[in-house]
Amino acid sequence: MDFATGPLGTLLSKLGQLLQDEYNLQKGVKKDIEFVTRELESMRAALRDVGEVPQEQLKEVVKIWARDVRELSYDMEDIVDTFLVRVQGSEPPSKRSVKRFIKKMTSIVSKAKTRHDIGQEIKDIKERVKDVAERRDRYKVDAITPTKTSVDPRITALYTKAASLEDGMSSAEQRIVSIVGFGGLGKTTLAKAVHDKIKPQFNCTAFVSVSRDPDIIKIFKDMLYELDKNEYMDIHNAALGQQHLTDVVQEFLKNKRYLIVIDDIWDTKPWEMIRCALPENGLKSGVLTTTRIIDVAEHVGGCYRMKLLTQESSKILFYGRIFDSIDKCPQQFSDVSDKVLKKCGGVPLVIVTISSLLANKSRNINEWYNVCDAIGTGIGKNPGMDDMRKILLLSYYDLTPQLKTCLLYLSLFQEDCEVIKDRLILRWIAEGFVQQGDVRQSLFEIGQSYFNELLNEALSSQETHR
């Protein structure tokens, strides 16, 4: 779950700025700020741990606690910003000495009042911080660990492929494997499955996306953050050049057994830049890439061609999303399901999209046949973009007007662009896309439900957000 720790990082930096002597804060106020800083640092660490746990495994009280920490950090940041603006703000000096003297005295009085005000506000915040800290202990937030969950059916369907890649990745001196196949075959899903399965065998791992228009500096920063979140917590705020970052990555990896996954490479040039940062250190490290372009895969090396799912694997994926398992499919839906699967042609993205659409339909056999007929001739023999686009449009037209608008808004962002969930929802609200029907829910909560519905429809994907 993506609980934002970003605001806390900014706030802690500003609190450190407040403790500087130039602001002449009273000794008691400084002690309060030091106390608040220590507690917030502890809360940020706890939030990172909570963020590693799937949302469905979290108790409601823990979600509320995380939300309160976020709100507390925003309130505190407003207070600090207001203080800094009032104390640092000034007007151009007046030419008249009397007028200048009056302005100076007024400024001194005003700043003294501002320092007194922030002292009281810090005391109030301190009490709120104490309350939140006590609830963290009461709810045992620090003891939360993810439990085993059922395997994603997409990974189950690709398990044979994943197993064969795992063996190679974990045994070679330094193995480079490039998964290649057209869009929708499950390259990223397979790469993530392999990464998660063999991750414990390595000292450090990273999963980064390149995309069609790569930002190499951002890719290296993402990689460092993934490799060690504690050491490189603020790496995205650092002004570092490409060569410097290349050297930092090399230095970090030189004595470690590492696994790096580089997703969605479109050209050999960014690969060569990244390759320079990955040392061959003789520690049986691994590099796994994904691409749609065969020439790129052959250039990278270790080309692994993705194949369409078998009929049996397609059934596991399809029935798993609708009925939980093949055994639970009602007999009357067996024939139409086989016809739908035949038209899906073993393409995971198409199967996921159609199964999500059918899962939201009533158990009306006629509606299922209507969907089957709407798919057309299928993509089994010709997995072209036109057929896949037609299938995706079926799910799009099944959305409510509000969800259609929210989905189309995502077209403003580039492919593979990281979009912070909370910021996206706030943008939806600002644009007027989120409609308040239930007065018991806030606009933000309704926006969250929109986001989750789009995920369930398999029309958007969710990564780990920072």
- 466 is a domain residue: no
- The C-alpha atoms of residue 363 and residue 261 are separated, in whole angstroms, by 41
pLDDT (tens digit per residue) in 397-410: 667 788 888 888 88
Contact (Cβ atoms closer than 8 angstroms) between residue 220 and residue 245: yes
Same domain, 191 and 98: no
- 226 is a domain residue: yes
Name every residue whose Cβ is closer than 8 Å to that of residue 417 and which is 6 or more positions away in sequence.
211
Name every residue whose Cβ is closer than 8 Å to that of residue 398 and which is 6 or more positions away in sequence.
357, 360, 457
- What value, to the nearest 5°, has the Cα angle with vertex 95 and ends 90 and 101? 65
Spell out where 274-376 has E strands.
Answer: 285-291, 303-305
* Average pLDDT of the residues in 136-148: 61
pTM equals 0.53
Same domain, 332 and 448: yes
Q: Which of 63, 70, 51 is nearest to 11 (CA)?
A: 70
User: What residues make up the domain containing 430?
Assistant: 311-456
- 465 is a domain residue: no
Q: Which of 107, 123, 143 is the last residue of a domain?
A: 143
Q: How many domains does the chain have?
A: 3
- Whole-number pLDDT of residue 443: 86
Same domain, 136 and 172: no
* Average pLDDT of the residues in 330-337: 86
pLDDT (tens digit per residue) in 425-448: 999 988 888 887 666 778 888 888
Same domain, 200 and 160: yes
CA-derived radius of gyration, the chain: 27
Region for 49 from its dihedrals, namely left if φ exceeds 0, alpha if ψ lies in -120 to 50, beta otherwise: alpha
Same domain, 417 and 360: yes
* Average pLDDT of the residues in 349-374: 79
Same domain, 109 and 224: no
Tokens of 129: 């911080």
- Whole-number pLDDT of residue 457: 59
- 225 is a domain residue: yes
DSSP β-ladder status, 204-211 and 174-180: unpaired
Contact (Cβ atoms closer than 8 angstroms) between residue 304 and residue 182: no
- The C-alpha atoms of residue 216 and residue 316 are separated, in whole angstroms, by 38
Q: To 10 degrees, the CA torsion angle through 431, 435, 441, 443?
A: 0
Same domain, 425 and 342: yes
